[in-house]
Amino acid sequence: MKYLFCVFLYLTLLTNIQSQNISGIITDSENRPLPYTNISLLHKRIGTASDSLGYFTFNLDKHLNDTLFVSQLGYQSKKIPVQNLINKSPVTIELIESETLLEEVYITNKKKKYTNSRPLGIKRNKIKFKSSVPYGYERCLYIENIGANKGKVAWVSFKLKKKDVKEGYDMFPTYFRIKFYEFNKTQNLPGKLLSSFDSIIKPKNKNYDVIIDVGDKFIPFLESGICIGIEAINPNPNNPSKSMYVTSPNLVMTYDDDPLTWSSYRGQPWTHMTHKMKWKAFGKVSYYYMNPMIEIGVQYEK
């Protein structure tokens, strides 16, 4: 009987541990809160984010042997074994600012002279459609530098479309964070961040032609081109509580002949979106890739 009681006590304690949430705050090295920081499990596509004040809550149920992955634009990512966080709430997770050459690039580019901006990117090709981007996911479009002429990005433009309520799904509002990457031709995917400029768009559920002026940020347009990322951010990280949901407004996409888009979940490795979609027109069936309708204005060096 004593043995059975000990087993019962052990299982009870184990159940309580496994159902435990962790909570805390994400800060920088000067103890300033970092809002909308991504927090996920390294080996599962499960995650959350800090809120507008840097606070977060995350359910670690059944993931005691996994690792927490914390990432934020402009900061070094951090990996923390889940076992190190058990029974330690609230926790403070400090991120260190990334060491980059952005300041050197800024000073160098500021001295140069540039042409007027010229548009590059994806316009409507075959047909456009709207796509709900789940929280934490990022769609990243590669824009080629055909002439291999250096320059800087003057503006970024993309389209958002109002989302109608879909039966059987909860609908939640989303913010969008814009990011700029170099293109790694060796690995054929987005590479290092080109700017720590944190641009967050907070739209309502309606149609938008979003244009962001970044001319004074001196974001380089490299010989290898550039990748523009658009990440869906949850304004209220405690929602949604269900897996079946849609976000609004939607990102406008188009069918294309080339797979120029990559996807990432909360700062984790990129996945090339090479799945083709079926399109039927005038009795003919064709298959195309999906790319977001993102354009940039480029000012070339004189």
Tell me which amino acid residue 191 is.
Answer: G
The token duo for 86 is: 């058990």
| Same-domain status, 109 and 228 | yes
| Same-domain status, 28 and 110 | no
Q: Per-residue pLDDT for the chain (302 aa), expressed as one digit of tens each?
A: 444 334 433 443 444 444 578 999 999 999 999 999 999 999 888 999 999 999 999 988 788 889 999 999 999 999 999 999 888 889 999 999 987 545 555 555 667 888 999 999 987 767 889 999 999 999 999 999 999 999 999 999 999 999 887 767 888 999 999 999 999 999 999 999 999 889 999 999 999 999 999 999 989 999 999 999 999 999 998 776 667 789 999 999 999 999 999 999 999 999 999 999 988 888 889 899 999 999 999 999 98
Give how far Cα 284 sits from Cα of 279, 280, 287, Å.
8, 5, 10
The token duo for 182 is: 């170099």
The token duo for 228 is: 């523009």
In angstroms, the CA 253 to CA 9 distance is: 55
Contact assessment for residue 140 and residue 263, using Cβ atoms and an 8 Å cutoff: yes
| Same-domain status, 50 and 168 | no
Q: Is 157 helix (H, G, I), strand (E, B) or coil?
A: strand
Domain boundary among the residues 34, 65, 94 is at: 94
Domain boundary among the residues 94, 116, 146 is at: 94
- Number of domains the chain is built from: 2
**Domain of residue 280, residue span:** 102-300
**Residue written as tokens 């540039």?**
114
Contact assessment for residue 292 and residue 251, using Cβ atoms and an 8 Å cutoff: yes
